[in-house]
């Protein structure tokens, strides 16, 4: 079961992702990382995970999130919020997890 890492960067005030659209399969694991500050992930509508909302401290997510074995093949959009330099940056419905 491959482990996918999604890097989030808002150091310029604009969201940049190493992998904005990620292809995975049921049972794969995903980690997010953001070095600028604490961040949150919220899936819009359905989620390929057991939860639709995640909050993380600065750095790499712990524990890794595992795609449900019964997650349907589809595109799952999510929003990202990062708190840094006394500001909250929000990227609503831009990145996505794609289950093949």
Q: pLDDT digits over 7-29, tens only?
A: 999 999 999 999 899 999 999 99
Q: How confident is the model at residue 2 (pLDDT cuts 50, 70, 90)?
A: low
Among 3.50.50.60, 2.60.40.420, 3.30.70.260, 3.30.300.30, name the CATH number for the domain at 3-99. 2.60.40.420
Query: Cis bond leading into 35, ω under 30°?
Result: no
Number of Cβ within 10 Å of residue 76's Cβ equals 22
Quote the pTM value.
Answer: 0.90
Q: pLDDT digits over 31-44, tens only?
A: 999 999 999 999 98
């Amino acid at each position: 079961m491959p482990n996918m890492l999604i890097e989030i960067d808002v150091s310029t005030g604009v969201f940049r992702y190493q992998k904005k659209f990620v292809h995975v399969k049921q049972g794969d694991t995903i980690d997010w990382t953001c070095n600028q500050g604490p961040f949150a992930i919220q899936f819009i509508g359905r989620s390929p995970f057991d939860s639709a909302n995640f909050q993380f401290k600065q750095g790499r997510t712990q524990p890794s999130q595992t795609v449900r074995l019964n997650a349907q093949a589809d595109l799952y959009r999510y929003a990202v919020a990062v708190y840094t330099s006394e500001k909250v940056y929000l990227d609503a419905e831009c990145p996505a997890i794609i289950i093949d």
